[in-house]
Amino acid sequence: MTQVRVGQGFDVHAHTDDPARELVLGGVRFPGERGLNGHSDADVAAHAAADALLGATGLGDLGTLFPDTDPAWAGADSVALLADVARRVSDAGWEIGNIDVKVVCERPRLAPVKSRIEANLTEAAGAPVTVSGRRAEGLGALGRQEGIAAWAVAVVTRPGGTA
C-alpha cells in the first residue's frame, strides 16, 4: 500500500531598509523592490516549499538543517536549499507529488514572472510546483508592506509500510 503524506509550510520575513539587499521570490530577483531581512536570501517562497516537504516527511525543519547562527548559510540561495531538502526527501524513500505555494504581498506583482518562479521551484524540487500571489488588501503588517509571507502545501508518497 502506498503511503501518502501532506505537509504545510510557512515563512515570513520583514522588509529591510538596506538598499543593497535585493528582493528574491522563487529564485527571481526584483530590482528596485525592497529586499527582505534574513540570514539567507530570505526567499519566502522557497522556504515555505522546503518547510512543507520537511513537515510531510518528518525530516526536521529549516532552522535545524540550515541554522541562522551558522555563517555557512549567510546569504544562501534558498532555491538551492529547496533542492537540498528535495534530495533528502528522495534519499528517505519519499517521492514528491506536488507543492503549491501562496505568496502574500502587496508588491511586487508576481503574475508577470509566475512561470519563471514555478520553473525555478519545480526544477529544485524535482516535482511540479505551482505558485500564486495574493494581496493582503491593506490589512495588517503584510498589507502595510512591512514584509512578505508564503504558505505551501506538499504531497509526498512512498510505497509500502506505514506512515
Considering only the top CATH level, what class is 2-159?
A: alpha beta
> How confident is the model at residue 37, as a pLDDT?
96
- Contact residues for 71 (Cβ-Cβ < 8 A; gap 6+): none
**pTM recorded for the entire structure:** 0.95
**Average pLDDT in the 136-159 region?**
96
Task: Print the SS3 string covering 31-53.
Answer: CCCCCECCCCCCCHHHHHHHHHH
> How confident is the model at residue 71, as a pLDDT?
92
User: Beta-carbon neighbour count of residue 97 at 10 Å?
Assistant: 15
Please give the Cα distance from 80 to 68 (Å, whole number). 16
**Average pLDDT in the 129-139 region?**
96
> How confident is the model at residue 160, as a pLDDT?
80
User: Beta-carbon neighbour count of residue 68 at 10 Å?
Assistant: 13
Q: Which three cell numbers stand for residue 73?
A: 548559510
> How confident is the model at residue 159, as a pLDDT?
86
Tens-digit pLDDT profile for residues 5-25: 999 999 999 999 999 999 999
Tens-digit pLDDT profile for residues 51-68: 999 999 999 999 999 999
Q: How far is CA 159 from the centre of its chain?
A: 26
**Average pLDDT in the 119-127 region?**
98
pLDDT band at 162 (very low <50, low <70, confident <90, very high): low
